[in-house]
Amino acid sequence: MHAARGTDFDVLVVGSCNTDLISYVSRLPKPGETIHGTKFSIGFGGKGANQCVMSSRLGAKTAIVAMVGDDSFGNDTIKNFKNNNVDVGFVGKSSEASTGAAPIAVDDQGQNSIIIVAGANNLLSESHVTDAFASINSCKVLLCQLEIPPATTLTALKLAKRRGVLTVLNPAPAVENLDEEFFRNCDIFCPNETEAELLTSLPVTNVEEAKRASLALLDKGCSKVIITLGVQGSVLTLRDTRTPVHIPVKQVKALDSTGAGDCFIGSLAYYLSSYPDLRLEEIIRRASVIASISVCAAGTQTSFPWKSDISHDEGLFKH
Ligand code: RIB
């Protein structure tokens, strides 16, 4: 990895890159069933990459610490980062494993199911993170997910905390017994409903249930929890007040929800870094509007808007 020594970043992502292999189907297949699809496409994905690209498209100065395979998917992934103004100084290439891949099925309702084959993502080590942190001058927000080795993510969260960087953890894909250190080392913990259910063993199907789950997540050691609920918006709960607040989202006709959560979190990181004085509720409202734009188009990153595509009508870029 060739680090961009001494640089200041708005958003640093330590996370995954995948190539998304997307099949469009009228409904998701049952176990053991073969069904016909209607369309197929290949695109750039991986929760880390998606979130980083989204922050960048809004104007944040971004970098990603990631690992790809020494193959055509890996080369294309690096080119894609460059096309999206993401610094690739911390993207490593390995011949030991292939670039991560994600076969995805998307149904007529825009719902999806995703399989991740991590490949080179599993080779992203704690030393890659330590080297990156030693090389950069500063960053405002660190974004992490759970598609790389857990120890690597935890190292990133701890190093960032030590340097006073705002840390955001999107605990995806969901795991049942997440070590408490992850909760304690993130400033904002942001699961979706499925992840919140697995982490708390509580049902999370509506706003009231999300409010209860958010309190249970605070009890695990985090200070701010945002549970995203798709069309039902999100719930924000702070340790200081323990009063969950529901933030609704604009209703749109969903075509493809793949990556909408990443679009939300990438936007959240952009606002946290570029509008630090904005209230968190307003930041969530704005990030939700941007995520709702993404569900109206097909694909993962292909559905993410650039700042220039977004109407200023809803006050999305007002200070
Ligand atoms: O959140 C969507 C992403 O999950 C996809 O891009 C896929 O690669 C998996 O990481």
Residue 27 included in any domain: no
Residue 110: per-residue pLDDT? 85
- Provide mean pLDDT across the span 75-96: 98
Residue 151: per-residue pLDDT? 98
Residue 42: per-residue pLDDT? 97
Residue 302 included in any domain: yes
By most ligand atoms within 8 Å of CB, the mutation choice from 16, 53, 80, 116 for ligand 1 is 116
Residue 94 included in any domain: yes
Question: For residue 49, which atom of ligand 1 is closest to its CA?
Answer: 6
Residue 30 included in any domain: no
Question: For residue 301, which atom of ligand 1 is closest to its CA?
Answer: 6
Residue 264: per-residue pLDDT? 98
Residue 308's contacts (CB-CB under 8 Å, 6 or more residues apart) are none
Residue 184's contacts (CB-CB under 8 Å, 6 or more residues apart) are 221, 222
**Short-list 220, 216, 296, CA closest to 256:** 296
**pLDDT class of 20 with cuts at 50, 70, 90:** very high
Residue 129 included in any domain: yes
Residue nearest to atom 9 of ligand 1 (CA): 46
pLDDT exceeds 90 at position 111:
no
Residue nearest to atom 2 of ligand 1 (CA): 259
Report how far ligand 1's centroid is from the alpha carbon of 283 (Å). 23
Residue 4: per-residue pLDDT? 60
pLDDT exceeds 80 at position 5:
no
Q: How far is CA 199 from CA 184, 214, 218, 292, in A?
A: 14, 10, 12, 26
- Tokens for 144, please give them: 């992490």
Residue nearest to atom 1 of ligand 1 (CA): 259
Report how far ligand 1's centroid is from the alpha carbon of 212 (Å). 27
Residue 254: per-residue pLDDT? 85
Report how far ligand 1's centroid is from the alpha carbon of 140 (Å). 24
Residue 199: per-residue pLDDT? 97
pLDDT, tens digit (0-9, with 9 covering 90-100), for 172-231: 998 889 999 999 999 999 999 999 999 999 999 999 999 999 999 999 998 999 999 999
Q: What angle do CA 48, 236, 257 make, to 5 degrees?
A: 45
For residue 99, give the amino acid letter.
T
Cα Rg for the chain, rounded, in angstroms?
18
Report how far ligand 1's centroid is from the alpha carbon of 216 (Å). 27
Residue 319 included in any domain: no
pLDDT exceeds 90 at position 313:
no
By most ligand atoms within 8 Å of CB, the mutation choice from 42, 44, 104, 170 for ligand 1 is 104
Distance (Å, whole) CA 300 – CA 261: 10
Residue 89 included in any domain: yes
Q: Which residue has the higher pLDDT, 77 or 314?
A: 77
**pLDDT class of 311 with cuts at 50, 70, 90:** confident
Q: 244 preceded by cis ω (within 30°)?
A: no
Residue 314: per-residue pLDDT? 83
Question: For residue 16, which atom of ligand 1 is closest to its CA?
Answer: 10
Residues in contact with ligand 1 by the CB-under-6-Å rule are 16, 18, 20, 45-47, 50, 102, 114, 116, 147, 258-259, 261-262, 300
pLDDT, tens digit (0-9, with 9 covering 90-100), for 239-297: 999 999 999 998 999 888 999 999 999 999 999 999 999 999 999 999 999 999 999 99
Distance (Å, whole) CA 286 – CA 263: 11
Residue 18: per-residue pLDDT? 98
Residue 3: per-residue pLDDT? 54
**Short-list 243, 249, 234, CA closest to 292:** 249
- Tokens for 167, please give them: 């840390």
So which residues are the catalytic ones? Answer: 262
Please compute, for residue 49, the number of CA atoms within 13 A of its CA located in the half-sphere on the CB side. 32
Residue 2: per-residue pLDDT? 59
Which CATH number goes with the domain that contains 275?
Answer: 3.40.1190.20
Residue 222's contacts (CB-CB under 8 Å, 6 or more residues apart) are 183, 184, 186, 187, 188, 189, 239
Distance (Å, whole) CA 229 – CA 292: 12
For 78, the domain range is 7-17+46-99+118-314
- Provide mean pLDDT across the span 130-155: 97
pLDDT exceeds 80 at position 1:
no
Number of domains in the chain: 1
Residue 26 included in any domain: no
By most ligand atoms within 8 Å of CB, the mutation choice from 13, 17, 19, 20 for ligand 1 is 20
Report how far ligand 1's centroid is from the alpha carbon of 294 (Å). 14
Give the mean pLDDT of the chain: 96
Query: Residue 217 in contact with residue 183, Cβ under 8 Å?
Result: yes
Report how far ligand 1's centroid is from the alpha carbon of 259 (Å). 6
Residue nearest to atom 6 of ligand 1 (CA): 45
pLDDT, tens digit (0-9, with 9 covering 90-100), for 144-158: 999 999 999 999 999
Residue 230: per-residue pLDDT? 94
Residue 6: per-residue pLDDT? 79
